[in-house]
Structure 1
Amino acid sequence: MDSDDEYTPEESGVQKTQGTPLQTFSLENLPTEFVSFLSKNEIDPAIYTVTDLPRYVRLNPDPHLTITPQDLEMELGTKVEPVPGLEAFCRLSGHIKLRNTKAYIEGRIFGMDLSSGIAVYALDVQPGEHVLDICCAPGAKLCMIAGLLTNSGHVRSDRSRASNALQMDITGTVTGVDISPHRLSTCRSLLKRHRLQQCARLFQADGTTFGVMRPSAIDTIRARIMAGNKSNNTSSAGNGSAGKRSLDRESYQNEGSSSDESMDQDGGPGLEVRQQFHSNYTQKGESSIKRQRATLERLSGFSGHTDREEEATIFNGTETEGSHEKLVPFFAPKTLRNDPQHRSEAYKYDKVIVDAECTHDGSIAHILKYESWGWDNFHKNFMSQNRLDSLMDLQRGLLMNGFRLTKAGGIIVYSTCSLSRAQNEDVIAWFLTKMHGRAVLEPLPKHALGIPTANCKRPCRSIIADALGLQQSGPGNANGIVGWHGTPEQETEMIQFQDHIMDKCLRYDPLASNTSGFFLARIRKIS
């Protein structure tokens, strides 16, 4: 489940939930099960009394459709403030409705919340890369990624030519996966509306078992283009079109190309922000990796238990070549539709984003809806223990499969719109202990965007111990969970590991950040 559905109602047709709710309720109205959930996950119930959250929009940087914050401010009649460090993002009053505004109708602005923008920037998408978006619908992040995959950040329309062709930089692809066909339809519509479908494909599948590697057909196309560029080097140098390919609009008729004339130019992040999010193998980074790997190995050694060989087989082995059934795309352009779907390490993805299904408790407006919908529905949908247990299993499965499909050295971003420790820090702690140093956290730029961050939560000790196969000890707590206690040396290692997760991950919440609640972790696959 992509948290984009909280702030793209104008594009997806769903009920508006992002922005400031016009009403709140007494904390006494919260159901007992939810209060218990908040207490167990160390969530302050006071976040649901916040009534002045802003909403966020993304300005379209296309030179034909650009609009300045000042012009948008004059049109909407409300203050519009650029978000420092997040190119093209602006904040405005949460009460503002955009659907019928001229700027929205003309495609000059897009409804997209801050959390989605930060998650995409954390990927540090570069032209030529292949990106996998697990739980991609309804598609705001997918569209932003698609734009970043071209050299200029968008696909240009040459309106002066009789063929009305699209100029495309063939550099990389984005693959979106979601289990809901209805939500995938919304995702497809967004791609078409913003003319980004030529480098994107969609699959309806379970994100925990999806196994289609990045498209190999694009390699043949790129080689053909590069060969053409060499033979036309003189003319290319003159008109600046090196590396570009004209695609006649007719080649996309079968994909249902939209008649909407608006184009999406997502634009790349500024150099400073890209440097903030991008982490190379510097001496400091290597030292951090070595320290984390050593800590994990020492933790694992407490019980004499290691499953390094088993994990390497499951998550890093080459998938069987030969006879296999191809998964038919839910949507793909002609250039990607008939991809042979090769299965080997060579075709794993450069970057993977896992915006996992969660309880959505970080969205005030989402929780407030149950005042009118009924708390019985809320309990059935989110608070039953069976539902919570299955949800955490799903989140672990999504992250593990994202890791499996990422090439060595690649990046995985894990995010939720929950404030629950169990769905965030505990998932990351469990995952890292399973990886035994083959996946490490990378730092995120806290406060770099001028927005205060919330404190991350200390991962559950018993989760870490259980993942490592360490013996549990001590009396159970009020929730019946048995704790873990070790020697003084073991306790020190455990605390250091917990501190490491708290330091590297990122949290925003309504009270500390004046945003919706969300969690973010950036992981590098070492091997």
Structure 2
Amino acid sequence: MDAEANSSNFPLPEAFLEFLNQNGIDPSIYAASDSIPRYIRLKPGYETYKEEIEADVGCKLEKVSWLPDFYYLPPDVRIASSKAYQEGKIYGIDAASGAAVLALDISVGDHVLDLCAAPGAKLCMMLDILGSSGSVTGVDVAKHRLAACRSMLLKYALGDHCRLFVADGTTFSLPPVSANLVSESRNESEEVYKEWKSWRPWKERKREAIAREKGLSKVFSSTQEPELIFYGTNSGVVGLTKNKLYQRAHCGYVFEFGYDKVLVDAECTHDGSIKHIQKFEQWGWTTFQRRVLDAERTDDLAILQLQLLTNGFKLLKVGGFLVYSTCSLTDAQNEDVVDKFLSENSSAELLEIDAARNWPCKSGRIPKTLRFDPLTSCTSGLFVAKFTKLAI
């Protein structure tokens, strides 16, 4: 594909067109932005409010036939100012991201780990599916981004079975809280976690607000202890001592009592996200060059992605499911990572995603992996692979 020939058709810098050419990505996907609808998920229990929500947002909610509880709207509709959004009846989440969550096959009572939880829409969907059972542990390396997840949980009243840790996803090693930990005897002098309060010191709130405004992310060292910034009443934290909560599990314990489901929606170059790429028209293409096109950064990302996938798999119990996804369309961040991971983990088996039979997506280079893209799927770009852990 000739990058120069395409440069006049799309408002993209020449260097990015060359990046797409090198990775075999069709630049025309970025011209499809006006035809990609805005997707929302209707919070379970609010189906009877559909007509009221339609009047509120000023258009019909068209059902996504292949994804339960998802609807699409015209791309220019803004939902943030709507009463339905402000009251937590709907939230925005791309249909491809919803498919990645659905691929986990979350069941009642599951303990789920979201290893790269921010910005939080997938976290909300997991909790919606679980209802009043199980637990979700959300982890993210950036405190201000995880604080935004916390705000979403409070807004949508979904945090009762959730806990959030600021931590390095490549080294996070805390298992789900089990009943035996809560009931275990403790020293009388040890303080226990009581019900979480939303009040936080003014200085902490100010720091987080400044970080959000500047797009800053605190660099979290892999040697630091995870920081618990939120926990729901029924997340398994209340009644525990700090020592019990931060007790790392040995390998044999994780095999039997690890997470039932793990989502690793890894940090990537986001080249498959049309809306993300469009933001660089405001942010500046110099920033884009550094974040997306820099060869050293993309090499580092592939290493990080493998580390995240490997650690997520370590925390998965035998027979559990792990989904790896990125919103990149490059092989280097997707199939190449999967190939490397499978070669290093004999207990990992790549699975067919049963629900995908009716999904509007393509097979990846590796059989059983999937790719969503704007032209094929009318969604943002997303790669999805599903694994299970074998007892060997």
TM-score, normalisation: structure 1: 0.60
Distance 1:48 1:85 in 2: 24
Distance 2:86 2:138 in 1: 26
Distance 2:179 2:198 in 1: 18
- Aligned equivalent of 1:513: 377
Q: 1:174 aligns with which of 129, 136, 159?
A: 136
Aligned with 2:228: secondary structure? coil
- Aligned equivalent of 2:86: 105
Q: Deviation per CA, 1:69-90, whole angstroms, max 9, x where unpaired?
A: 4443344332321112422110
Tell me if structure 2 keeps the 8 A contact 1:69–1:81: no
Q: 1:393 aligns with which of 275, 287, 303?
A: 303
Tell me if structure 2 keeps the 8 A contact 1:43–1:419: yes
- Aligned equivalent of 1:208: 170
Do the aligned partners of residues 66 and 420 (structure 1) sit closer, same or farther apart at CA in structure 2, a change above 3 Å counting?
Answer: same
RMSD of equivalent CA atoms: 2.6
Aligned with 2:197: secondary structure? helix
Greater alpha carbon shift after TM alignment, 98-107 vs 415-424: 98-107
Q: Does 1:186 find its partner at 2:148? A: yes
CA deviation after TM superposition for structure 1 residue 372, in Å: 3.3
Do the aligned partners of residues 177 and 373 (structure 1) sit closer, same or farther apart at CA in structure 2, a change above 3 Å counting?
Answer: same
CA deviation after TM superposition for structure 1 residue 383, in Å: 0.9
Q: Does 1:442 find its partner at 2:351? A: yes
Aligned residues: 342
CA deviation after TM superposition for structure 1 residue 68, in Å: 5.0
Q: Deviation per CA, 1:46-96, whole angstroms, max 9, x where unpaired?
A: 11111211011111222xx44454443344332321112422110110100
Residue 54 of structure 1 aligns to which amino acid in structure 2?
A: P
| Residue identity (%) | 45
Do the aligned partners of residues 124 and 219 (structure 1) sit closer, same or farther apart at CA in structure 2, a change above 3 Å counting?
Answer: farther
Q: Deviation per CA, 1:229-284, whole angstroms, max 9, x where unpaired?
A: xxxxxxxxxxxxxxxxxxxxxx7462459xxxxxxxxxxxxxxxxxxxxxxxxxxx
1:3-402 matches, within 5 Å, as 26-27=8-9, 29-50=11-32, 51-62=34-45, 65-149=46-130, 153=131, 169=132, 171-217=133-179, 220=182, 252=195, 254-256=197-199, 327-333=226-232, 335-336=236-237, 338=240, 340=244, 341-344=247-250, 345-346=252-253, 347-402=257-312
CA deviation after TM superposition for structure 1 residue 198, in Å: 2.3
Do the aligned partners of residues 109 and 327 (structure 1) sit closer, same or farther apart at CA in structure 2, a change above 3 Å counting?
Answer: closer
Do the aligned partners of residues 359 and 352 (structure 1) sit closer, same or farther apart at CA in structure 2, a change above 3 Å counting?
Answer: same
Tell me if structure 2 keeps the 8 A contact 1:123–1:353: yes
Q: Deviation per CA, 1:191-224, whole angstroms, max 9, x where unpaired?
A: 1222222211111111111111111357647xxx
Distance 1:219 1:81 in 2: 46
CA deviation after TM superposition for structure 1 residue 124, in Å: 1.0
Do the aligned partners of residues 446 and 132 (structure 1) sit closer, same or farther apart at CA in structure 2, a change above 3 Å counting?
Answer: closer
Aligned with 2:380: secondary structure? coil
CA deviation after TM superposition for structure 1 residue 333, in Å: 3.8
CA deviation after TM superposition for structure 1 residue 148, in Å: 2.3
CA deviation after TM superposition for structure 1 residue 443, in Å: 1.0
Do the aligned partners of residues 26 and 68 (structure 1) sit closer, same or farther apart at CA in structure 2, a change above 3 Å counting?
Answer: farther
Q: 1:454 aligns with which of 333, 354, 362?
A: 362
Aligned with 1:119: secondary structure? helix
Residue 343 of structure 1 aligns to which amino acid in structure 2?
A: A
Tell me if structure 1 keeps the 8 A contact 2:43–2:128: no
CA deviation after TM superposition for structure 1 residue 351, in Å: 0.9
Aligned with 2:362: secondary structure? coil
Tell me if structure 1 keeps the 8 A contact 2:112–2:137: yes
Residue 308 of structure 2 aligns to which amino acid in structure 1?
A: L
Tell me if structure 1 keeps the 8 A contact 2:361–2:377: yes
CA deviation after TM superposition for structure 1 residue 445, in Å: 4.2
Residue 29 of structure 2 aligns to which amino acid in structure 1?
A: I
Tell me if structure 2 keeps the 8 A contact 1:85–1:448: no
CA deviation after TM superposition for structure 1 residue 369, in Å: 2.2
Distance 1:124 1:357 in 2: 23
CA deviation after TM superposition for structure 1 residue 326, in Å: 6.5
5+ residue gaps, structure 1 = 1-24, 154-168, 222-250, 258-324, 459-500
Do the aligned partners of residues 138 and 368 (structure 1) sit closer, same or farther apart at CA in structure 2, a change above 3 Å counting?
Answer: closer
Distance 2:107 2:85 in 1: 28
Residue 444 of structure 1 aligns to which amino acid in structure 2?
A: I
Residue 403 of structure 1 aligns to which amino acid in structure 2?
A: F
Q: Deviation per CA, 1:284-307, whole angstroms, max 9, x where unpaired?
A: xxxxxxxxxxxxxxxxxxxxxxxx
5+ residue gaps, structure 2 = 1-6, 184-193, 201-223
- Aligned equivalent of 1:271: none
Residue 30 of structure 2 aligns to which amino acid in structure 1?
A: Y
Aligned with 1:131: secondary structure? strand
CA deviation after TM superposition for structure 1 residue 145, in Å: 1.4
Tell me if structure 2 keeps the 8 A contact 1:255–1:333: no
Greater alpha carbon shift after TM alignment, 115-124 vs 30-39: 30-39
Do the aligned partners of residues 91 and 104 (structure 1) sit closer, same or farther apart at CA in structure 2, a change above 3 Å counting?
Answer: same
Q: Which is greater in Rg?
A: 1
Aligned with 2:174: secondary structure? coil
